[in-house]
Each structure stands twice: as structure tokens, then as C-alpha cells.
Structure 1
Amino acid sequence: MDPFLSWTQANQPEWIAFLKAMVEVETPSGDEMAITRFADLLEKHVSDIATVKRVKGPGFGPHLLLEFDLPGAKKKGQILGLAHSDTVHPTGTLQKFPFAAKAGRLFGPGVLDIKGGIAQFVFAARALRAWGIPVAKKVVLQINSDEEVGSDSSRALSEKMAKQSDYVLVVEPGTGLSGKLKTARKGTGDYSVRVKGIASHAGVDFLAGASAIVELAKQIEVIAGFTDLERGLTVNPGVIQGGTRTNVVAAEAQVDVDIRIARLKDFNALDRKFRKLKAIDKRCQITVEGGLNRPPMERSQAIAAMFAKARTLALDLDVKLEESATGGGSDGNFTAALGVPTLDGLGMVGEGAHTLQECLLLDRVADRTALLAKLIANL
């Protein structure tokens, strides 16, 4: 049996205990005190193998940089791991959805996205130390506190660390119940389109009004038409609001729109379409705000080469590794856009992320942790 696999199997009870401790510190995005408690817990658990630096994330809590003390002589270059501490689950979720092991799975808020990935990275480092496997590069795990809400506070840090790195390993969950790695992600963005009309009494002075709602409805049809599935470009008008009362011709209305693009070169043309929106009723005014907040992670030759290496290493674990592309974004989008070889989806295998059925597969803990250790040792 592969030595890393045998070690991770033998140490799986400790792995589960570590994950349980992390999950039971709830960390909703934007709760600085909760994120700080999580940072305290994590620093205590890794103090024997890593130094921890805290970077201020105003409004979100500290971002963490864990530099591991791994075997090997003088190291040249750096491997950057990426994870995040925040989850979408509000405080109190544990009361109705506690950490639990049943039917070959581990359940709990954030267990898959992404605290299982953090446990995986830490135990991959422990496996390397246990076997005394020399590592050629410095290994740092960056844990951001605001990934689930756009990474505005942590983006600069991610890009700075990526520029100092030769490779980036992202421990977001794999795709599906086979745990496919992610070699491409769509870029993500948001637009707000606001319409200002003219209010009037709907019964007494109907013709004097210019309905912002009616105008917005027409604009939404135009906006939805920006979708181009052949180019991997989707535009989703997701939230609308407007008006005050049914007997008032609406003076204001707004739609919030999600965009996803597979290729960065398609963004400028899409942005121009939003900026050129014109009111059909000339009495109305249109204002457009927004843009791209995560560039796409496009599958490059360097990313393909990283996946090929991981696939070969996985064969030692009797795992047939596959790759995937996804419409969701991660902090790996930022690093890949800088040209730094980035491999995503290296985290745990499971399903139900962001729901009250979130879980990971127990029988994939050992091989995923072992694969990460082998990859770190071979980059």
C-alpha cells in the first residue's frame, strides 16, 4: 500500500476529530468574532507544525497564512494552498444540523465547503513530516475569511501570495461524487440596472406617469438575451424590486444580474452591452453599475500539466482521477488569471454544499489527503 495512504488511514480518527472541532466553531461570513475564534482554534491545532500569520480583514476577521515546517534542505520557490474559513451558514445552524457521522458520511455546516479541505491540507503536511519526505519548496496555506461573499478583502493578499508562488493548490471540494478536479472555472460578476420613472396616481392621473416597472420588464428581456451558451456565457436576472403601492405608477425599479463567462476576452463586449442599455420609454432613465469580480480560470497548458501529474500520482492510490470545468468561482480564479499554474477541486468529495444536507464521503478522506501530500512532494 502507498505509504501516504496507509498513514492517512491509520490517522483518520484524529483527522475526523480535528474536522469536528473546526465545524463546531461556526464561521458565517462577516462575523469577525466567530472568524477570530476559528483562527485561535486553528493556530492551536497546528502550532507544532506551522507558524501562523494573521492578516487583517476588516469587517470579516483575519485571513491566515500557515507556513509549514516540512522536511528537506534549503527550499527554492513556493507552493500556495488556498482555502477559506467563512461559510454560508448563519450562527445557530449547528443546533438543527450538528456535526454527525452516519451512513459512511460526515455531516455538518461547512464540512465539505471547505473545512474538510483545511483538515486535508494540515494532515497532508503531517503525513510528509511523519515519513520524512523532503519537500523542495516552501509550503503555505492561505485561509481567507471572505471567500463566500466575493473576496473583496482578501483578493489583494491572494494575488500577492500567488506572485510569490510556483504553484497554487485549491482545496475547494471536487466535482460530484467522483471528486473530479477543476481545471477551469467561469469568471463571475454582478450588475445592478436601475430605472427611474415618473410617479403618478394609477387611477386619477395614469397617463402622467412613466412606469419604472414596465420599463424594467422590457429591459430584462433584453438583458436575458445577452446569454450565449455556445461561448459559455450566461446572464441571469436574479432579483427584482420596485414600486411602492399598486395604486401608484412606479417611480423606481431595479434588477440585480449575475454573469458568468468562460473566457476573459468575452467580458468587454458583454460589459458594453450593459452600458449601452437605452430606455424604450424616453421619459425613463437607466443607470447601470457593476462588472466582473472574479476573472475566469481558463484551462492552460500549465494547468493541464498539473492535472496530468495529479492523475498519475492518483494511480498509486488506485484512484482514477478526472477533470471538470464549473460555472462557480473560487479564489483560484484570481491566481490562475495571473498565469500561476492553479489546480482546483483538490478538496473533499461529497455533496450538498451550502445546504442542510452538506456532507463528505468518509471512504474518500484517506485517498484525497494522501493525493495532496504526494502532489506537494512532487511539485
Structure 2
Amino acid sequence: MTLDVPIRRLGDLRSRTAEMVRYLDRLVSVETPSEDLAACRAGADVVGAVGEEIMGDQAEPVEVDGRVHLRWSWPAGPDRPTIGLIGHYDTVWPMGTLDRWPFTLDQTAGTATGPGCFDMKAGIVQLFHAIAALPDRAGLEVLLTCDEELGSPTSQELVRELARRAAAALILEPSAGGALKTSRKGIGRYRFDVHGRAAHAGLEPENGRNALTVLGKLLLDVGAMARPDVGTTVTPTLAAGGTASNVVPAHAWLQVDVRVAVEGEAERVDDQMRGLAPGMPDVTLALTGGPNRPPMPATSSAALFARATAAAAVLGVGPLAGVAVGGGSDGNFTAAAGCPTLDGLGAVGAGAHAEGEYVVIAGMPERAALVTELIQDIRGGR
């Protein structure tokens, strides 16, 4: 196949930019907060319909514990390896966000904004168009989940199953300032619950067991587990306790976010978390949570990043950059399963999880074309 074929495909995708924006508007305008099962179910219907309109094939709904994930698959042939394309349609934005922040285009800046547009509904639109641009789809499997923002509790086994049979996993999470994500930290999430004993703070405080006092020591102990020299962060993120200003608090709780860059650190932190004690008689300490996602090392993406760099050069949309990031994705699971993984192939823009997140519209056809050419290259030729 001549090298002008990718250029023609890029030109065709660029001619569909307005269509991509319309579909992005459609996806952003249906709210899909992770915690709202009914909203996610309604969102699944819209995402499935959009996928069918663009690609011409119906999604297979996969329901797990009341959550609807979407899968498209085309059987692999003898010369068509399985390639997984993974994303999520849930967002961090609560219902009603659209009322004050609707999907909006800025024609002057060439951007689109709205809750979830960057993370990662633009990536879904790009994914569907990338597949539609292929001469055939044999061996492709698309998985779009609705609980990634929660740590993928019901979908991670679907992700792992796909990774075990795939030659490559392409993750349509948003880019990092245009850079692809070549490594990610692993993630742990913990909650401590301290149970003491209430008493009147003025009449007999000595009869109480102050859960907040124990929590204060926990904050220091947890913070000491960090090892910035190897990329390990241990961050208390939420805490509360007590019932009234004149009552010795009988209960307090703490949530902790853990990020690790290297193997073994998650286990070290987990062991130390589980070794903590209240340090006060008649007080109990309950710990829930643990490691959620393993690290995605740079070695898992190196070969695919080289392929993507070559594909970008052919298309004239390079040079590409790769970056290590602290956030996690389902790419952590695919890499841990031994599947070569490249992440951040979705939208170009900024502001994930932040008010005002936006997508660079011109990047949508370019990144869709990049995914198309990367798939062709993995198959052994454009």
C-alpha cells in the first residue's frame, strides 16, 4: 500500500470534523456521572447509538452488577491480531452540571468545552471514526466502560480478559498537553475508620476515647510512608469526625490516596498501612481499600510509541511526545496483564476533571487518523 493512502485517510477524516463536533455535542449533552447507575445506563444507549451510526455495527451491552459496559468486536483472521481499543464514558461531573456549563464551541480558539468533553468523550468520537476509516475491522475489539473514574470495580476483569488475548491495547484516554502517556503510576485507595467512645467534653472528658486524637496521629504516620525519591506519594485527601462541639468524638475517618511508580512500593505501603494501630486503649481502627491499579511501566509502551511516532511522521502530524503521568487508567490493567499498551491516544486539550476542560477541535481528526494508522502498522502494513 502506498504511503499516500494514510494522507488520503487523514484528509477524509478532516472533512468529517464538523460531524465529529456534532457527535461530541451529543455525547457531552447526556450526563454520565459514575455514581449514577440510571444516568450511565441512559448514556450507554446514546454512546451505543452513536457508535452504530458512525461504524455501522451495534454494540454488545455487557452488564455487571447493574452497570452497562459496551463492547464491539470483529473476529480476528489468521493475519489479523486482536487489538483492544479501550475507553470509558462515565465522568466525574454530577447530574445538573450541564445546566450551568453546557457544551459550547469557541470558534475563535478552535475549542469545545463541556463536562467530560476532554475526559473522555472526544476520545470516544475519535475512536469510532478511526475504526470507520479502516479498510477492514477484523481482530478489533472495543470496550467502553462506565466505572473507570471509580477505579473500574465492575469492568476491570473485562479489561484484563481483553488484554490477555490482545497483541496490543490502545487506550483512548486524553493526551497530556498533546503528549501520549507512556507510563502511569499505580494507585491505591484507603479509608481508616477510628471508633472510640463519646463523653461530655466538659463534665467527664476522661471517660471518652477521642477518635480525632487517634486520627491526628494517623495523619502523621500515613504521611511518613511517602518516598518521593522513588515516586511514591501518600496523600490524606478527606477526613472528618465528631458530632458536636461539646462531645468527645467517638468516630473519625480518613481517606488516603497512594501513587507508586515502581514495583514493590504498593506492597510496602499496603503492609505499613495494615500495620498501623490506634495507640489508645479501647479504640478500634478499621481499614478498608488497598491497591487498585498497578503501575504501567514505560517498557509496556516503548514499541507502540515508536510505531505511533512513525505513523505520525507519515501523516505529517508529528512530532509526538511521550510523558509519564501520575493518574491511572485501564491501561494500568492491560500493561500488568503483559499486553503492550499505549495510552493518551484520545483528545488533545486540557483540564481533565477541572471546570472548563476543553478539546482542541483540529486535533480530533488528526488523532483519529493516528489511531487508524497505528492499527494498520500493528497489523503489518498500512
Same fold, TM-score > 0.5, yes or no: yes
Seen in structure 2, the aligned counterparts of structure 1 residues 63 and 75 have a Cα distance that, compared at 3 Å, is farther
Find out whether 1:24 has 2:22 as its counterpart.
Answer: no
Please list, as runs of the form range in 1=range in 2, the aligned pairs for 1:67-82 lying within 5 A after superposition: 67=73, 75-82=79-86
Q: Given residue 353 of structure 1, which amino acid in structure 2 is its aligned partner?
A: A
The equivalent of 1:162 in structure 2 is 163
**What is the TM-score with the length of structure 1 in the denominator?**
0.92
Find out whether 1:247 has 2:251 as its counterpart.
Answer: no
Could you say what secondary structure the match of 1:249 adopts? coil
**What is the TM-score with the length of structure 2 in the denominator?**
0.91
The equivalent of 2:143 in structure 1 is 142
**2:304 paired residue among 282, 306, 322:** 306
The equivalent of 1:274 in structure 2 is 273
**2:87 paired residue among 69, 83, 86:** 83
The equivalent of 1:153 in structure 2 is 154
Seen in structure 2, the aligned counterparts of structure 1 residues 185 and 127 have a Cα distance that, compared at 3 Å, is same
**Aligned-pair distance for 1:113?**
0.8
Take 1:268 and 1:29, find their aligned partners in 2: how far apart are those partners?
28
Could you say what secondary structure the match of 1:264 adopts? coil
**1:12 paired residue among 17, 30, 42:** 17
**Aligned-pair distance for 1:320?**
0.8
Take 1:188 and 1:236, find their aligned partners in 2: how far apart are those partners?
11
Could you say what secondary structure the match of 2:64 adopts? coil
**Aligned-pair distance for 1:6?**
1.0
Q: Given residue 144 of structure 2, which amino acid in structure 1 is its aligned partner?
A: I
Please list, as runs of the form range in 1=range in 2, the aligned pairs for 1:1-379 lying within 5 A after superposition: 2-47=7-52, 49-60=56-67, 62-67=68-73, 75-102=79-106, 103-128=109-134, 132=135, 138-176=139-177, 179-300=178-299, 302-316=300-314, 317-379=316-378
Take 1:375 and 1:236, find their aligned partners in 2: how far apart are those partners?
37
Runs of 4+ in 1 over 4 A off after TM superposition: 72-75
Seen in structure 2, the aligned counterparts of structure 1 residues 143 and 224 have a Cα distance that, compared at 3 Å, is same
Q: Given residue 186 of structure 2, which amino acid in structure 1 is its aligned partner?
A: G
Seen in structure 2, the aligned counterparts of structure 1 residues 251 and 341 have a Cα distance that, compared at 3 Å, is same
Q: Deviations over 1:66-95 (max 9, x none)?
A: 2259xx975532000001111112222222
Seen in structure 2, the aligned counterparts of structure 1 residues 297 and 121 have a Cα distance that, compared at 3 Å, is same
Seen in structure 2, the aligned counterparts of structure 1 residues 40 and 212 have a Cα distance that, compared at 3 Å, is closer
Equivalent residues of 2:77, 2:139 under 8 A apart: no
Take 1:75 and 1:308, find their aligned partners in 2: how far apart are those partners?
22
Equivalent residues of 1:50, 1:67 under 8 A apart: no
**Aligned-pair distance for 1:319?**
1.2
Take 1:280 and 1:31, find their aligned partners in 2: how far apart are those partners?
39
Take 2:37 and 2:203, find their aligned partners in 1: how far apart are those partners?
52
Seen in structure 2, the aligned counterparts of structure 1 residues 355 and 318 have a Cα distance that, compared at 3 Å, is closer
**Aligned-pair distance for 1:203?**
1.5
Identity value in percent: 37
Seen in structure 2, the aligned counterparts of structure 1 residues 68 and 8 have a Cα distance that, compared at 3 Å, is farther
| Structure 1 spans left out of the alignment, 5+ residues | none
Q: Deviations over 1:342-372 (max 9, x none)?
A: 1000001111222330110122122111111
Take 1:158 and 1:220, find their aligned partners in 2: how far apart are those partners?
34
Q: Given residue 150 of structure 1, which amino acid in structure 2 is its aligned partner?
A: G
Could you say what secondary structure the match of 1:321 adopts? coil
Equivalent residues of 1:51, 1:68 under 8 A apart: no
Take 2:169 and 2:279, find their aligned partners in 1: how far apart are those partners?
48
Q: Deviations over 1:116-169 (max 9, x none)?
A: 0011011111222xxx3x56x511110001111121111111111111111000
Take 2:38 and 2:278, find their aligned partners in 1: how far apart are those partners?
46
Equivalent residues of 2:17, 2:362 under 8 A apart: no
Q: Given residue 22 of structure 2, which amino acid in structure 1 is its aligned partner?
A: A
Take 2:194 and 2:28, find their aligned partners in 1: how far apart are those partners?
43
**Aligned-pair distance for 1:171?**
0.4
Equivalent residues of 1:31, 1:59 under 8 A apart: no
Take 1:281 and 1:42, find their aligned partners in 2: how far apart are those partners?
53
Take 1:65 and 1:307, find their aligned partners in 2: how far apart are those partners?
25
Seen in structure 2, the aligned counterparts of structure 1 residues 252 and 373 have a Cα distance that, compared at 3 Å, is same
Could you say what secondary structure the match of 2:298 adopts? coil
Seen in structure 2, the aligned counterparts of structure 1 residues 305 and 271 have a Cα distance that, compared at 3 Å, is same
**Aligned-pair distance for 1:283?**
4.3
Equivalent residues of 1:106, 1:360 under 8 A apart: yes
Take 2:45 and 2:208, find their aligned partners in 1: how far apart are those partners?
58
Take 2:280 and 2:232, find their aligned partners in 1: how far apart are those partners?
29
Could you say what secondary structure the match of 1:184 adopts? strand
